[in-house]
Structure 1
Amino acid sequence: MPPSTPRLVVPIDLKKKPWEQTLPLHNRWHPEIPPVAEVKDGEFSRVEMVYRTGGSIEDDDSALDVKTVDLSAVHYLSGLIRVMDKEGIPAKPGDLLKVEICNLGPLPGDEWDFTATFDRENGGCYLTDHFPSATKAIWYCEGIYAYSPHIPGEIIRGRMEYLTPMGPTPFHVNPIFNIGPVEPRFSEWLVFEGISVDKGGRQHYLDPTIAYRLAVLNAIDYLSKFGYSKE
C-alpha cells in the first residue's frame, strides 16, 4: 500500500510571486520545457499550484484588481513532471500513463476563489456588450461546498473530473465529468463537452450549436468504445 502522506514533489509558497518559486513554473505544454521534478511508478505524490493569475487577484470587495490585471502573464502551471518506471526508465511518447487523482483542494490558508468578468478595455469577454465593466465575486471553500458573500444564497457543490488532459501527450482526451455526490441525486450522469471549432479547424468563438454538435459526437465516440455502432 502507498504511504498515507504523499511526497511533495512541487511545493508552492503563497507568499512568493510565481517567478520566485523554488521550482520554475510554466504557462503552456511544450516538448522543449524540461521537467522540474520526477515521480516513480506507483508513487503517492502531491503537486501544489498557484492560481492562473499568479495571486494578482485579492480576497476583497473591489474589482479594481480584475480591471487592471496583467493578462500577458497568466495561466501559470506546475511541472513538468517526469514519470519513471520501476527500472528507472522515464516514460516516453506513446506510453500509456494511468494517473489516479486522490484529492483536489485549496492550499491551507488559501481556501477561496473568485469568478469575474473582465473590463472591456482589458480582456473583455463574450458578453462585453452587455457587461462592459469589470466585476468580481469571491467564493469561500468549505469541503465540497463553496459560498459567496457577493451572491447571497448561492452554494456551489463540488464535482469530480475524469479523463482531463494532463500533459503533452500524442493523443487527445475530452473532459468527462461525474456529477458531485450531493443530494438531490436523481441518477448517475456523464456530461460530455464540446468546443466551438468545426471539423475543418475553424474557430467559431463560443458558437453553442457547433459546441453542442461536438459534444454529441464526443458521446458517440465514447459509447462506440463499448461495442455500440456509431449509428
Structure 2
Amino acid sequence: MPDVIFPLDSNKKFEDQELVGHNRWHPDIPAVATVKPGESFRVHCREWFDGAIVNDDSAEDVLNAPLLTVHKLSGPFAVEGAKPGDLLVVDILDVGPIPQEDSGPLAGQGWGYTGIFAKKNGGGFLTDVFPDAYKAIWDFTGQVATSRHVPGVSFTGLIHPGLMGTAPSAALLAKWNKREGDLIATDPNRVPPLALPPEAEHAVLGRLEGDEFNRIAAEAARTAPPRENGGNQDIKNMSKGTRIFYPVFVDGANLSMGDLHFSQGDGEITFCGAIEMGGFMDLRVDLIKGGMDTYGVSENAIFMPGIVDPRFSEWLAFSGTSVTLDGEQKYLDSHLSYQRACLHAIDYLTKFGYSPEQAYLLLGAAPIEGRLSGVVDIPNSCSTVYLPTAIFDFDVRPSASGPHQINPGMGAPKANNPA
C-alpha cells in the first residue's frame, strides 16, 4: 500500500484533523505535502458534507444541507518541479470507500446516500419538476449497491472522485470571479442562483489564520462548478485505471481531490445525484514539461478513462428534444433535450410502481449513460438516456403483458418543510 500522506480520523471533524484540507480554490492556499514525479501515495477523502447527512429515513438533513461548507477537499499537494505551462499526469491507481470501516455514522462506512436538493438550497437538473428535498440510502456489499428506499434494483458501483483539480493562478481566479459575478448580476435574486460567489464565513483554508486567511477567503472561488482547472466535473468514468492530464497554473501545481462517489449516472442529475461517500484514493503523479503548449491543453483536463466499468449488454433508451413541458420550441437546446429524456425515463419507471422521486434518485445513482445524439438538426437537439436493464430484479422491458408491479416499500424519505 502506498504511504498515506493525508490521513483522516473518522472520529474527528474535517477541520480538527492533523492535516487540514480546504473547501475553496485559491493559488495561495499552502500545500499540505509535497510529492515527487513518479511517486505513488494514498489520500483519505471525506464525504463532501463532512458527515452532515446521516443514515436514517428522514430527508431533513438534505433539506438543510450546509451548502456553503462544501466541498471538503484533501490537499493541496505540491508536485516537485511543476511549473505553469506543464501538464500534470495523474494516475488513479485505486479508489474506494473508507478502508476497514464497514459500518459507522459516516458515508463511506458501508453505506452512501443520494439526495434530491430542495430548490431553495441548490436545486438540481429537474428542480422545477422536483422542488422538494428527498433522500435515498444505499448499502454496499462489496462493489454492489442496494437501497431500502429504492427497492428492486442492485448494481455494481463505478467508484470515482467527483472532484479533482489543480490550483488556479491569480489571473485565472480573477477571470472566474469576474465572469461568474457578471452572470449573477443578470438575475441576482434567482432561486436557485445562477452561480455561487466567494463566501468567506464558511471557508476552510488549511491552517491559514488572521489577515492572510481573511484576504484569501474573500477572493477564493467556490468549488461547486467545474472550471479550466478540472474541479467538480462529476465524470463517472474517471475511475480506477484512469490517467488524467491537468493544466498547471501555479508552481507545484497544487493538486486537490475529494467528493468520492460509489456510483453515479451521467449528469449527476439530482445535484447530489451520485452515491456520496468518503474513502481513499491511491495516486501516482508525473510531469510533461511544457505540455500545455505542446499538446494544446491550455485549459480543461484531458483523460484516458479506466477500464473497470460494469458491463451491460442490454439497455432501454429514452430520447428527448428541445421542446419545453409547455410546448415552447427552443433552438438546439441540448440541456433541455436531456431534461426531457430524463423525464421520459422517470415517467416510464412510475408505470412499474416507483414514485417519481424514487425514479429520479435511481437515475442519479445508477450507471445510466447520457448522450448527445443529435445537435445539428434545427430546431431540435436530441439527447438520449440509456438505462441498463440488468440492474432491475424484474423485466423492465415493454411487453404485451404490461408492466410488472413492484412493492415500492417505504419510498424515498421527503423533508417535512416545503421547498
Question: Would you call these one fold, judging by a TM-score over 0.5?
Answer: yes
Q: How does 1:68-107 map to 2 (within 5 A)?
A: 68-84=64-80, 90-107=81-98
Q: Percent identity?
A: 40
Q: How many residues align?
A: 189
Post-superposition Cα deviations, 1:109-164, rounded to whole Å, max 9, x if no partner, equal 21321111112333322323322221100112233322212111222323352355
**Equivalent pair of 1:158/1:180 in contact (CA under 8 Å):** no
Which deviates more, 31-40 or 141-150? 141-150
CA distance in 1 between counterparts of 2:68 and 2:45 reads 19
Q: Provide the residue aligned with 1:146 in structure 2.
A: 145
* 1:62-211 equivalence runs, <5 A: 62-84=58-80, 90-108=81-99, 109=101, 110-159=109-158, 160-161=237-238, 162=242, 169=249, 171-174=299-302, 177-178=305-306, 180-185=308-313, 206-208=335-337
Secondary structure, aligned partner of 2:22: coil
1:87-120: CA deviation from partner (whole Å, max 9, x where unpaired): xxx3122223322211110113213211111123
Superposed displacement of residue 206, structure 1? 4.1
TM-score, with structure 2 as normaliser? 0.40
Partner of 1:212: 372
Residues 151 and 70 (structure 1), Cα distance of their counterparts in 2 relative to 1, 3 Å cut? same
Match of 2:208 in 1: none
1:165 deviates by 7.3
Name 1:58's counterpart in structure 2. 54
Taking the aligned partners of 1:171 and 1:212, their CA distance within structure 2 comes to 22
Give the Å deviation of 1:208.
4.4
Q: Which residue of 2 aligns with 1:47?
A: 43
Secondary structure of 1:15's aligned partner: coil
Q: Does 1:15 align with 2:11?
A: yes
Supply the AA of the counterpart residue of 1:133: D
Offset at residue 176 of structure 1 (A): 6.0
Q: Which moved more, 1:75-84 or 1:118-127?
A: 118-127
* Structure 2 counterpart of 1:146, one-letter code: A
Q: Which residue of 1 aligns with 2:224?
A: none
Worse overlay, 161-170 or 54-63:
161-170
Shift of 1:38: 1.4
**Cα distance change, pair 122–99 in 1 and its aligned pair in 2 (3 A):** closer
Matches of 2:23 and 2:248 in 1, distance apart?
13
Amino acid at match of 2:37: D
SS of aligned partner of 1:72:
helix
Q: In structure 2, do the counterparts of structure 1 residues 49 and 34 end up closer, same or farther at CA, with 3 Å as the change threshold?
A: same
Distance change (3 Å), C-alpha of 1:41 and 1:177: closer
Q: Which amino acid aligns with 1:65?
A: D
Hey, what's the Cα distance between the residues in 2 that align with 1:163 and 1:215?
29
Unaligned 5+ residue runs, structure 2? 102-108, 159-236, 250-297, 315-332, 339-370, 377-419
Q: Distance in 1 between matches of 2:246 and 2:35?
A: 15
Larger deviation, residues 43-52 vs 126-135: 126-135
Distance in 2, matches of 1:76 and 1:63, equals: 21
Q: Which structure: greater helix fraction?
A: 2
Change (3 A) 1:205 1:17: farther
* Partner SS for 1:65: helix
Q: Greater relative contact order (Cα 8 A, min sep 6): structure 1 or 2?
A: 2
After superposition, the C-alpha distances for 1:6-40 in whole angstroms (9 at most, x for unaligned) are: 10001112222222122121123322211111122
Question: Helix, strand or coil: the match of 2:87?
Answer: coil
- Cα RMSD, aligned residues only: 3.1
Contact persistence 1:116–1:135 (CA under 8 A): yes
Partner Cα separation in structure 1 for residue 85 and residue 145 of structure 2: 39
Structure 1: unaligned runs, 5 residues or longer: 85-89, 187-203, 217-231
Distance 1:19 1:214 in 2: 46
Go from structure 1 to structure 2 and tell me whether the alpha carbon gap of 1:116 and 1:167 turns closer, same or farther (over 3 Å shift).
farther
Do the aligned residues in 2 keep the contact of 1:141 with 1:147 (CA within 8 Å)?
A: yes
TM-aligned CA distance change 1:184 to 1:208, over 3 Å: closer
